[in-house]
Amino acid sequence: MDLRIGHGFDSHAFKPGVPLIIGGLAIEHPEGLAGHSDGDVLLHAITDALLGAVAAGDIGTFFPPSDARWKDAESSIFLNLALEEIHHAGYRIMNVDATLILAAPKISPIAGEMRERLAILLDILPNVVSIKAKTPEGMSMDHVAQAHAVVLLQRIEDPAELMSMTAVVESQRQLEDVVKDLISEVHKGPGTRTVVPVFDTDDIT
């Protein structure tokens, strides 16, 4: 059995005047998360975990902050790119375990809804998605939200299942032509899965 594990981390400061989006959900709160995109700290962490599991780089490889196309973009676009990468590598998601670290808002009342939303975005069952929330006690981080995500992938042996995954990715993808352009820019040539070994370590999303 061929398994891969990926870990992702992201952090964003709270900012007034922007909507709060976490896990693909709009949450009622006086402040949102600052970022070049919509600041969805949880989707960013999961995206990096998926990309890392198949050694495909990170969000900055595909979505640099210098590219105006990603200003205020929905983070589901980034997640769809990561799903395409693991599909091309021949893997599927077995489970996702995520931890949010923030003082407010409280996540437990909406954790079930967030799991359902993530399950839809990832095309997996809610019972293989775990979301935990912790408060940053004693860390002086009351105005910051952080997320850790761990994913387990398994290689797909059934060609029919690979074809099924292709249909799912096609149905989920947003800005399809732009994402294709990005992939061709990042990889060295058609059909080549080698990523340019230059990574932007700044918090770009």
pLDDT bin (cut points 50, 70, 90) of residue 194 is very low
Percent pLDDT > 70 in the chain is 74
3-state class of 137 per DSSP? coil
| Residue 202 in domain | no
* pLDDT above 90 for 122: yes
Average pLDDT in the 33-50 region? Answer: 92
* pLDDT above 60 for 205: no
Average pLDDT in the 125-149 region? Answer: 92
DSSP string, 111-131: HHHHHHHHHHHHTS-GGGEEE
Average pLDDT in the 23-51 region? Answer: 93
| Residue 84 in domain | yes
| Residue 194 in domain | no
Q: Rounded CA gap, 3 and 86, in Å?
A: 12
State both tokens at 193. 């899965």
pLDDT bin (cut points 50, 70, 90) of residue 190 is very low
| Residue 28 in domain | yes
Q: What pTM was computed for the model?
A: 0.77
Percent pLDDT > 90 in the chain is 60
| Residue 205 in domain | no
| Residue 70 in domain | yes
Q: Which domain holds residue 93?
A: 3-185
pLDDT bin (cut points 50, 70, 90) of residue 197 is very low
> Residue 140 burial by CB count (10 A; 0-12/13-18/19+): exposed, middle or buried?
exposed
Average pLDDT in the 104-108 region? Answer: 94
CATH of the domain at 127: 3.30.1330.50
**Maximum Cα–Cα distance for the chain, whole Å?**
51
| Residue 198 in domain | no
Highest mean pLDDT among 47-61, 73-87, 119-133: 119-133
- Number of domain units in the chain: 1
| Residue 43 in domain | yes
pLDDT at 84: 95
* pLDDT above 90 for 37: no
